[in-house]
Structure 1
Amino acid sequence: MGYVPNHTVNFELYKIFYYAASSLNFSKAASTLHVTQSAVSQAIKSLESQLDIALFYRQGRNVTLTYEGEVLFQHVEKAYHFFRSAENAIHNIKSLDEGTIFIGASDTITRLFLIDSIKSFHLQYPKVKISINNRPSSRSIEKLEKGELDIAIINVMPNFDYEDLELFPLTTLEHVLVSSAPVDPLQVHLSDWLEQPLVSLEKKSTTRRILEAYYENNGLEMKPAFEFGSFDVVLEAIHAGMGIGFVPKRIASDLIGSKELYEIKIVEPIPSIDIGILINKSKPISIATQKYLEILKNNEGKVIFGE
């Protein structure tokens, strides 16, 4: 006959399981929930009994999740954050006098595209907080999928399927190849600079993957001599004479204008990076988040959500 799902499980048991699985400590879970440790243990036993599975390995005071417990936690974690988001959305429906917008974005995207809109939003809605989680785009996507973020502003990977997420275009970021030493103003080929040390973002970043594809499409292999986690550090390294590198034109333009950096004009067109807004289709967008996106749209002059 097979396993029949138990739809009568009390959701309070899942809440207790979430806190116990998050901390892997029944005592901490009890303290957070303001109940006794015995109540947490009994709730977990009840949930295990109703689901007919073991959720935890218990070895003395050490507690770990079983495989089944890990699978359940992945789903319960998402549900927990969605419930918290729904509560926050209800508060925001009542007024814009409270609440927090959780945004995932890299350091570079925050600096170049979000600061002005955040400032404008704060002037209009000073009681609504904005929390920026500065992580690479790949990490922001993971947190958005879990329901930990309201929106993510990301570097868009071409031809990538974002599955249950919805992507809206925001703007485009042009890149230039620069050097700290004067260069021939005439256009040259990318292959002419392979012997120069290359300063790059770390391998897991979207921009790095797009540039690797760029090299590959031109029959070359990208071999950085130095790798860093942010463009600010990449720019500092190039400025210090450690090598050449690709950087956003918007953050290099002042240094190029003052001749502290020099643009290397190459024949092969350097790919631009699309910047997009990701939302989780399973998670309702709060009134505060909608208001922020309107300001962001106006700042960048883009149409968002089919308006």
Structure 2
Amino acid sequence: EMLYKHISIACKHIFSAEEELALISERDRAIVRLGGSEVALQSFLIDRIVEFHREHPKIQIKIDSMSTPDAIEALRANLIDVAVVTSPFSDKTGLNINVIKKLQDIVAAGNGFSYLKDKEISLHELVKYPLICLKNTTTTRNYLDHIFRQHNLLLRPDIELTSINFVMPMVKNNLGIGFMQYATTKAEIEAGNIFRVNIKEQIPPRSICAVTASQYETPEPVQRFIDSLLEKESVSI
């Protein structure tokens, strides 16, 4: 297993180098190696990639979907050029972090919990209901765990998932109350399929960030891609 781990990393470097070398003979062509978290991809990144590709058709974007911790590890190993992921970061050492946009986590429920629509409940009350959340290997879950600990509570979901894409179907089918991002639930809320649960305590916003490793030079096409994200979505904090 140890040998395979080292070989797999080496192979990724070799395959990446082969792709870049293959483009040298083609004028103005380049590759941006992008690692994106599911939340970032779901929230806005796909639309931005499509727009960037339309404006720069000769720049190929190679996308790997990975968690924030895995993306940061890949950056430090020079397996990707840029990570577009969600905060917070456990270790910011050696990272260049550009905040792109704010991200608001909310609590949402299906119409089977309609008796909660006109109520305001606390986190202490919320833990009594069946909860749906991501596994504790994700940045989102660790962030929520931290919030609950601040209120002397332990977040113990009834359903733990590996992908954010599975949360919405389960919430809509009343299998529990879920934690999701407002940007990706807005349409379903407006359609009346789910509703936002009013929580007394504030859930602080997070950020979607474009991150590079300071130990490596940022290639011009990569910087162009980052700049395009900042121009369209940049926020001040």
Q: TM-score range by the shorter chain?
A: 0.7 to 0.9
Question: Structure 1 length normalisation: TM-score?
Answer: 0.67
Q: Which residue of 2 aligns with 1:266?
A: 199
Shift of residue 91, structure 1, vs aligned partner: 4.7
Paired residue for 1:301, among 210, 234, 237? 234
Report Cα offsets for 1:260-281 as digits up to 9, x if no partner: 1121101100122222121011
Shift of residue 167, structure 1, vs aligned partner: 1.6
Does structure 2 conserve the Cα–Cα contact (< 8 Å) formed by 1:157 and 1:210?
Answer: yes
Distance in 1, Cα, partners of 2:231 & 2:171: 34
Q: Secondary structure at the match of 1:108?
A: helix
Moved over 6 A (4+): none
Shift of residue 292, structure 1, vs aligned partner: 1.1
- Using CA pairs under 8 Å that are at least 6 residues apart, name the structure with larger relative contact order, 1 or 2: 2
Question: Structure 2 length normalisation: TM-score?
Answer: 0.85
Q: Which residue of 1 aligns with 2:99?
A: 169
Paired residue for 1:143, among 62, 74, 83? 74
Q: Which residue of 2 aligns with 1:45?
A: none
Q: Which residue of 2 aligns with 1:218?
A: 151
Distance in 1, Cα, partners of 2:42 & 2:196: 22
Paired residue for 1:118, among 34, 49, 67? 49
Distance in 1, Cα, partners of 2:53 & 2:123: 44
Shift of residue 116, structure 1, vs aligned partner: 2.4
Amino acid at match of 2:107: L
- Unpaired runs of 5+ residues, structure 1, are 1-23, 25-63
Distance in 2, Cα, partners of 1:227 & 1:200: 5
Q: Which residue of 1 aligns with 2:32?
A: 101
Q: 1:165 to 1:301 in 2, by over 3 A?
A: closer
Distance in 1, Cα, partners of 2:27 & 2:234: 27
**Alignment coverage as a number of residue pairs:** 227
1:284 correspondence with 2:217: yes
Does structure 2 conserve the Cα–Cα contact (< 8 Å) formed by 1:211 and 1:271?
Answer: no
Amino acid at match of 1:236: P
Distance in 1, Cα, partners of 2:33 & 2:135: 25
C-alpha RMSD over aligned residues: 2.7
Distance in 2, Cα, partners of 1:151 & 1:234: 27
Q: 1:111 to 1:168 in 2, by over 3 A?
A: same
1:254 correspondence with 2:187: yes
Shift of residue 144, structure 1, vs aligned partner: 0.9
Distance in 1, Cα, partners of 2:117 & 2:55: 49
Shift of residue 111, structure 1, vs aligned partner: 2.6
Q: Which residue of 2 aligns with 1:230?
A: 163
Structure 1 stretch displaced more, 130-139 or 189-198: 189-198
Amino acid at match of 1:127: K
Report Cα offsets for 1:217-240 as digits up to 9, x if no partner: 011110011111222201111111
Identity %: 22
